[in-house]
Amino acid sequence: MNPKIVKKLPKVELHCHLGGSYNIDSLNGIIMDQSDISLSNFKAKAKIQSTCSSLDEYLQPFPLLLKHLQTEETLEMAAYDVLLQAADENIIYIEIRFAPILHCEKGLDFNAIIRAVLRGIKKD
């Protein structure tokens, strides 16, 4: 099927993990401020390899990706970015999953985390 046609078709996304779905480029400045590696190295480590053969391998980049979703600002930006990507793919319904406990490393409480993600989802 033609990829352009597929892109235009309305779709649903029932299992989208916030921590693994944001576009690294959308958080580029923040990631680079918080990171001790170059952007290209970060992207290489965050990419899931085409030779991935297990769930363990698939999940290896997540700690690195989650490391940068530890502030209200980055959580809001990531949630907004995921919705922009969904809109671009004509996803008309999306269920974004995340575990607030994975975003507490810098002292955020669950309420702050959830509010930040909701701000990103509601952003115009």
- CATH classification of the domain holding 10: 3.20.20.140
Residue 28: domain span = 3-122
Q: What DSSP designation does 107 have?
A: S
Q: How far is CA 75 from its chain centroid?
A: 9
Q: ∠ CA(32), CA(48), CA(101), 5° rounding? A: 65
Token couple for 76:
């809001």
The predicted pLDDT at position 45 comes to 85
Residue showing tokens 């576009």: 23
The predicted pLDDT at position 106 comes to 95
pLDDT for 115 beyond 90: yes
Percent of the chain surpassing pLDDT 90: 68
pLDDT digits over 42-89, tens only?
Answer: 788 888 888 999 999 989 999 989 998 999 999 999 999 999 999 999
Residue type, 63: P
Closest CA relative to residue 14, chosen from 98, 97, 99:
97
The predicted pLDDT at position 1 comes to 83
Mean pLDDT score of the chain, rounded to an integer?
91
* Cβ proximity of 110 and 100 under 8 Å: yes
Q: pTM score, two decimals?
A: 0.88
**pLDDT band, residue 97 (cuts 50/70/90):** very high
Domain count, the chain: 1
Q: ∠ CA(34), CA(35), CA(38), 5° rounding? A: 140
Which residues have C-beta within 8 Å of that of residue 124, sequence separation ≥ 6? none
Q: Is 107 left (phi over 0), alpha (psi -120 to 50) or beta?
A: left
